[in-house]
Amino acid sequence: MNEPRREGVPTISTSTLGEARFRSPLVQRWDPAHVVGRFVADNHFVRFGADVKLGEANEAPLFEKAGARRRIFFDPAKTRAALVTCGGLSPGLNNVIRSAFLELHKNYGVPEVLGIRFGYQGLNPAEGERSIKLSMEIVEDIHQEGGTLLGTSRGPQDPAVMVDYLRDQRIDMLFCIGGDGTQRGAHALAEEVARRRLPIAIVGIPKTIDNDIEYCDRSFGFTTAVAEAERVIACAHVEAKGARYGIGLVKLMGREAGFIAAAATVASQEVNFTLIPEIPFRLDGDRGLLEALHRRMIERQHAIIVVAEGAGQDLFAPRETGRDASGNIKFQDIGPFLRQKILEFFDQRGPKVDVKYIDPSYVIRSVPANAEDDILCDQFARRAVHAAMAGKTDLMIGHMAGTFVHVPLAMAIGRKRRVQVEGEFWASVLAATGQPAVFA
């Protein structure tokens, strides 16, 4: 839903580098007689949240709609762009790189697009490798492969050092592809650029296989991950049914949000218990997970359990686990812990069970994107290019109500989407599994 500015409703605008003085080459490329609806004006906004009851006031903010502008800030012929991929792998990274390059080089006519090697390390000459100049030959087939052509890494770098690199390499715009830590680094870059009053655009493209970035209904790679997880669950189901009192235990990605576990459960329709970070659960007692699992085994002689990696952290004895290079708290491994608890319980209560534990995390995140994510990657990438060419900066491309928007990085970082356990999505999980709402 596109909306103009309305009195009394908060509108979220993004930072710009200055006046858009150049006519976009897309005007001519698209044919002036057929451009109606292809360009977006700066007074087009999208409401955050589309679920509104008739007759109720809605004060949800309005975000700038993403898309091509008729007038742009940079002269394409004199522009140099760069892309960087950071954090863990996710299906679709190469697709984003390829589509961004094509939009910059083929459609806008930007003569040179650089690929920064191995994340933000590549913006620090003391640590990183030299960037590569992207070309049609280099990007031609990369969308058919998993991973990232550019390589990736975790951890921050000094914003001042990175901005020095951008200035010295005459880079006019940088596209930062990654999750919350990456966007936090992009915001720090944009702040340093603004402090020095440099005409450099910093635009983020959200990448999180967990699908947990705020103001982004669906991030690229998520549907591919769900499809791969569904295949793993199908194999676990075969294993469980192939053994007397067989249990398939599958651990899926999801540190703080259980979207993959929940979606794969609904897609599979073979899961009996789904455990996610949003809902604490007890193992013991009449209403605990183990007792429910025991009833299932007596009745059906097999079961499938899907657990998100961040679920059940309160079951562990408190201890300092530290943080990874991205600043994330290191979680304890719920998969082997849960397997051991199940074995101990059934050793005492019977019957003797055969537990098959499967952790497919690295397999899932390294596969090529599926068709749905192929399309989403292309949409994210091209809208990021449109934003940067228009001189917009310190923003992330968001996705809400089926529309792409500009989200100021200051609003996006440090906020996580969670599965709404009182909503329809989680209700569908409960319906598919038949499990109780809580194990307490």
**DSSP E strand boundaries for 173-312:** 173-178, 201-206, 246-252, 273-275, 302-308
Dihedral of CA 174/177/181/187: which sign?
Answer: positive
Residues belonging to the active site: 210
Beta strand pairing call for 273-275 and 173-178: unpaired
Q: Which amino acid is at 326?
A: S
Please state whether 332 falls in left (phi above 0), alpha (psi between -120 and 50) or beta.
beta
Distances (CA, A) of 276 to 223, 291, 314, 323, 348: 18, 18, 12, 21, 27
Of the candidates 72, 157, 169, the one whose C-alpha atom is nearest the C-alpha of residue 120 is 157
Give the integer Cα–Cα distance in Å for 304 and 311.
Answer: 16
Task: Give every CB contact of residue 250 below 8 A, 6+ residues apart in sequence.
Answer: 229, 232, 233, 236, 304, 305, 306, 307, 358, 359, 360
Of the candidates 177, 169, 96, 117, the one whose C-alpha atom is nearest the C-alpha of residue 377 is 96
Is residue 70 within 8 Å of residue 389, measured between CB atoms? no
